[in-house]
């Protein structure tokens, strides 16, 4: 199947999932994850109408997205991979949404750049729902305090929470935990679900899913 066909298939599975969960049509947005794919491979998805994309590396994204954004109005680019503070300036300049705020140092670096560049980047806090040592994210027990620190002390708005469940576990309980934490923080946006589990995520209340290989093919 072509990228257009695979994109169409993922979108219809999202719409079916919304209907099955009794959710409004269009309540889940699709972040098409284009990491490792070059501009040539991404253009068909843009031509088919997709406007929201995700990348996990700042440096890689800088190599293709300034050009792609200049070609088409209305592109919304999400950073979904770990951010180092020395890349905060580049990340704030290029990305519209940063989904991986996971420690005070990075929250402060991003806050300073948002002010300096006067660029209203939308932010998500990444939660390590499986407490995996190799994975980034705030521990579930520390999430409410961290969101409050971001809002009150650092002064940045947090739009929602994001998680990547452990690869070898049933993702449902992780999605449910993220939804519960968001509710307790008064947040309504949930970034969860990838190619293998986005329909489950829609069932558990995802407001955006991050899908790569099901659209662009294996990496
Ligand atoms: C790569 C990646 C995805 C997409 O994964 P697929 O399995 O290809 O859909 C989603 N979220 C994050 C954080 C990723 O790094």
From first to last of its 219 residues, the chain has per-residue pLDDT tens of: 999 999 999 999 999 999 999 999 999 999 999 999 999 999 999 999 999 999 999 999 999 999 999 999 999 999 999 999 999 999 999 999 999 999 999 999 999 999 999 999 999 999 999 999 999 999 999 999 999 999 999 999 999 999 999 999 999 999 999 999 999 999 999 999 999 999 999 999 999 999 999 999 999
Q: Is 81 in the pocket of ligand 1 (CB under 6 A)?
A: yes
Cα angle 193-106-121, degrees, rounded to a multiple of 5: 65
Q: Which residues pair with 209 in a beta bridge?
A: 30
Atom of ligand 1 nearest to the CA of 219: 8
- Give 28's DSSP letter: S
Q: Is 212 in the pocket of ligand 1 (CB under 6 A)?
A: yes
| Lookup: tokens for 151 | 């809002």
Relative to beta strand 160-163, strand 189-191 is parallel
pLDDT at residue 205, as a whole number: 98
54, 60, 167, best to mutate for ligand 1 pocket (most atoms within 8 Å of CB): 54
Q: Is 213 in the pocket of ligand 1 (CB under 6 A)?
A: yes
pTM metric for this prediction: 0.98
């Amino acid at each position: 199947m072509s990228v257009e066909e695979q994109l169409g298939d993922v979108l219809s599975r999202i719409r079916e999932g919304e209907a099955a969960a009794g959710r409004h049509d269009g309540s889940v947005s699709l972040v098409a994850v284009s990491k490792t794919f070059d501009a040539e491979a991404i253009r068909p998805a843009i031509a088919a109408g997709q406007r929201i994309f995700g990348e996990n590396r700042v440096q890689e994204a800088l190599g293709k997205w300034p050009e792609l954004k200049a070609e088409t109005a209305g592109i919304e680019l999400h950073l979904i991979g770990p951010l180092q503070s020395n890349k905060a300036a580049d990340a704030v300049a290029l990305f519209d949404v940063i989904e991986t705020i996971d420690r005070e140092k990075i929250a402060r670096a991003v806050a300073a750049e948002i002010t300096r560049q006067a660029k209203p980047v939308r932010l998500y806090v990444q939660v390590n729902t499986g407490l995996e040592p190799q994975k980034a994210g705030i521990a579930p027990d520390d999430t409410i305090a961290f969101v409050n620190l971001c809002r009150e002390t650092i002064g940045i708005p947090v739009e929602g929470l994001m998680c990547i469940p452990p690869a070898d576990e049933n993702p449902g309980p992780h999605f449910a935990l993220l939804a519960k934490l968001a509710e307790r923080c008064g947040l309504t946006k949930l970034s969860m679900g990838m190619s293998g589990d986005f329909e489950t995520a829609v069932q558990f209340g995802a407001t955006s899913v991050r899908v790569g290989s099901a659209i662009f093919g294996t990496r």
